[in-house]
Amino acid sequence: MSKRIIEQNAEHLIFELSDKNRRSSSLAPDVDISAVCENLPEFALRKDNLELPQVAELQVVRHYTRLSQKNFSIDTHFYPLGSCTMKYNPRACNTLAQLPGLSGRHPMAHASMSQGVMACLFDLQNMLMEATGMKQVSLTPMAGAQGEFAGVAMIRAYHEHNNDTQRSEIIVPDAAHGTNPATAVMCGYKVKEIPTNEQGDIDIEALEKIIGPQTAGIMLTNPSTLGVFERKIKLIADMIHKAGGLLYYDGANLNAILGKVKPGDMGFDVIHMNLHKTFSTPHGGGGPGAGPLGVSERLQPFLPVPMVAYDGQTYRWVTEKEQPLSIGHLSAWMGNISILLRAYIYALLLGREGMERVADYATLNANYLLKRLADAGFEIAFPERRASHEFILTLRKEAKQLGTNAMDFAKRLLDYGYHAPTTYFPLLVPECFLIEPTETESRDDLDAFVEAMIKIRDEAEQLPDLLKNAPFELPVKRLDDVKAARELDLNYYYQD
């Protein structure tokens, strides 16, 4: 391979470029530091010198530009990371969200100076309500996990409000995202896991056995993390509701059904959406996300504040004064507004046809890629099922016969310039790849990915060690994770 995948040269740490005698340029104000400090109380002042890198502007620009070139990203590489919806983040969303009136607004600016941003947020609330079939939306959760937390906290608040306090359990499928059980515990609940059957559906008999007066609710993703639609969802909803529990929808996979199925119609009482997935806001190397909530009528009074209301003339903030049963505030203001604006802009650009098209083409791409890989001889985890926007391939045969596991395939894919699919999740499928191509990839790119997979399998047959030692074309080879955890080096300035 001669093609350079990403920048490979080692880059110094910014601290190693520093000289304490170098002075910053026009970026800092001109002020006499020691004269100012004389006016501050002695006890409060810093005694030791502050250590931060002193590097000139151009050298900082080069350093971080070079670091950026060591990343895979959607803008540079196909990134079929299952469950993460790595689709194109339109540039217009970024540019327009940074308009001065929007990016410079202080959160406590007077309402008369806030009608523009409030109009955007109000419209977004309505569009999300419509797209999900829920009764009301609160935009404030700052990530999917915080949306989950708020949703389960609302389920708890609802039961407590009804003096229904014996409910102590949340049911979670064994294939669920790790955030689901972690969230239930944060809200003071015990977690009950239920198994999945061979078809990827929830085991209804097992569910029946654990539902009871102690059931506070169930957390589900649909399509599930197995990449298939839970067909008995209405039955499950009826069973849970009959027992007095509520249904929580993890919106991680909303991209699969946007405009096609509304979670509200499936019987869910509360949902969170990952705007950094379905509404294409940037993943930013791991955040910020945005995890708005939608609720059915019965959970409306418990929504977190603030929200935006409109009386036909003026927009205003809805606070705990109007929403006294609210579970409260989740952030100092109203969550990740700069991200919410990007989602709003994306929603305007797509419109209702564009939203339905998201699910159409995400599903088309996934089923096409599944078929091509199946035809090439790869084993599909649920071959009898339609793929949703993603699907699972199991490399157990390759692992057994060739000794090359899913991790080896993943690492070798990097050498070919493909970000690896999600590996080893969900845990119940051995040696799995969870593959999500998204709607924004072209057929040519999907075909090229299939070719790469075939080539890698050929390599596995002929040169298994090649896979075991991959990657070769990246800035580093496989890293020593054990050393990383045992001999912690987390801070340049503090070496134990």
Partner 1 sequence: MPYIPHTPDEVTEMLGTIGVDSIDELFDEIPQELHTHLADDSTSAIPAGQSEMAVQRLLTERAMLDGTPVCFAGGGAYEHHIPAAVWEIATRGEFYSAYTPYQAEASQGTLQVVYEFQSMIASLTGMDVSNASLYDGASGLAEAVLMSVRANRKAKSKRILMPRNVSPVYRQVVETIVKNQGITLELIDFESTKGTIDLDQLKRQSEPFAALIIPQPNYFGHLENVHQLTDWAHEQGGLVIAQVNPIALALLEAPGNWGKNGADITVGEGQPLGIPLSSGGAYIGFIACKQKLVRQLPGRIVGRTIDLDGKAGFTLTLQAREQHIRRSKATSNICTNQGLMATAATLYLSFLGADGLQKVAAACVANTQTLISKLESVPSVEFPFVKNVFHEFVISLDVNIDKVLEALAEEDIVGGINISPDFGENLLLICVTETKTEDELDFFTETLARALSRLRSSEETNNGEIQS
Q: 292 to 311, contacts with partner 1 by CB under 8 A?
A: 304
Distance CA 303, CA 295 (A): 8
Pairing status of strand 432-435 against strand 422-423: antiparallel
Sign of the torsion formed by the C-alpha atoms of 327, 332, 333 and 334: negative
Residue pair 423/80 in contact by the 8 Å Cβ criterion = no
Sign of the torsion formed by the C-alpha atoms of 273, 277, 282 and 284: positive
In this chain, which stretch among 203-211, 237-245, 287-295, 457-465 interacts with partner 1, using CB under 8 A? 287-295
Q: What is the DSSP letter of 300?
A: G
Report 115-144 residues binding partner 1 (CB under 8 A). 115-117, 119-120, 126-127, 129-131, 133, 142-144
Q: If binding is defined by CB under 8 A, does position 14 make contact with partner 1?
A: yes
Q: How far is CA 140 from CA 180, 300, 303, in A?
A: 19, 14, 10
Q: Out of 212, 349, 377, 455, which residue is the one contacting partner 1 (CB under 8 A)?
A: 349
Which of 355, 389, 357 lies closest to 83 in space, CA to CA?
A: 389
Q: Out of 18, 136, 168, 214, which residue is the one contacting partner 1 (CB under 8 A)?
A: 18
Q: If binding is defined by CB under 8 A, does position 262 make contact with partner 1?
A: yes
Q: Out of 50, 165, 198, 311, which residue is the one contacting partner 1 (CB under 8 A)?
A: 50
Minimum CB separation from partner 1 for residue 460, in Å? 19
Report 441-470 residues binding partner 1 (CB under 8 A). 441-443, 469
Give all strands (DSSP E) within 300-443, no chain letters.
307-310, 315-318, 379-380, 391-394, 422-423, 432-435
Q: How far is CA 229 from CA 90, 240, 274, 294, 335, in A?
A: 28, 19, 18, 21, 31
Report 188-217 residues binding partner 1 (CB under 8 A). 188, 191
Q: Out of 80, 134, 137, 145, which residue is the one contacting partner 1 (CB under 8 A)?
A: 145
Minimum CB separation from partner 1 for residue 324, in Å? 14
Instruction: Quote the radius of gyration of the chain (alpha carbons, Å).
Output: 25
Q: If binding is defined by CB under 8 A, does position 356 make contact with partner 1?
A: yes
Distance CA 319, CA 296 (A): 19
Which of 336, 357, 299 lies closest to 160 in space, CA to CA?
A: 299
**Which residue number, 3 or 47, has a Cβ lying nearer to partner 1?**
47
**Which residue number, 400 or 447, has a Cβ lying nearer to partner 1?**
447
Report 58-117 residues binding partner 1 (CB under 8 A). 60-61, 63-65, 67-77, 79, 81, 84, 86-90, 92, 94, 96-110, 112-117
Q: If binding is defined by CB under 8 A, does position 185 make contact with partner 1?
A: yes
Q: If binding is defined by CB under 8 A, does position 331 make contact with partner 1?
A: yes
Q: Out of 414, 429, 432, 456, which residue is the one contacting partner 1 (CB under 8 A)?
A: 414
Q: Out of 257, 270, 395, 432, which residue is the one contacting partner 1 (CB under 8 A)?
A: 257
Q: Out of 4, 161, 209, 234, which residue is the one contacting partner 1 (CB under 8 A)?
A: 234
Residue pair 79/72 in contact by the 8 Å Cβ criterion = yes
Minimum CB separation from partner 1 for residue 123, in Å? 8
